[in-house]
A = this chain, B = another copy of it.
Amino acid sequence: MSPRAIVELMMKNDAFSRWLGVDVVQVDKGTCTLNLTVRADMTNGFHVSHGGIAYSLADSATAFAANAHGEQAMSIECQMSYLTSIPQGSTLTARATEEHRSKRLGRYRVALSSNDKPVALFYGVVMFLGKPWKLES
């Protein structure tokens, strides 16, 4: 399966990413860029994007970048840094790049930005499970 086909299959079953309104801008082996727009139902008690929204977008970008290699992968450790708050209505972009990949582990950095300004940094580690992606029949 191609990177694009794997991510389309993942998105088809990923109800939460669909709720987030995730737009797959780019995907390839080890890289993925996603967008979403911060809606009113994604805000927190400070009237800005809940911390979980940017995290979830980065987590999905990491999952797509890692699984695009053709082997199933699951997040094991993630780390998130908040640089500035993200107002409702903003477009949020998460750009995942692969820092390192071994047989078992993949390391990904995700730069989160809004209006070309950095808003958060994410780092994710996935474990590869030894199961290839294949078309459901």
List A residues at the B interface (Cβ < 8 Å): 9-17, 19, 40-47, 50-53, 55-57, 59-60, 63, 74-85, 99-100, 102, 104-105, 107, 118, 121, 123, 125, 127
A41 to B16, CA, bound (A): 5
Copies of this protein in the assembly total 4
- Contacting pair A81 B125 (CB below 8 A): yes
Q: Name which residue of chain B comes closest to A52, CB basis.
A: B56
Q: Which residues of the other chain, B, contact A44 by a CB distance below 8 angstroms?
A: 10, 13-17, 60, 63
Interface centre among A59, A82, A100 (most CB of B within 10 A): A82
A77 to B106, CA, bound (A): 12
Q: Which residues of the other chain, B, contact A81 by a CB distance below 8 angstroms?
A: 76-77, 100, 107, 123, 125
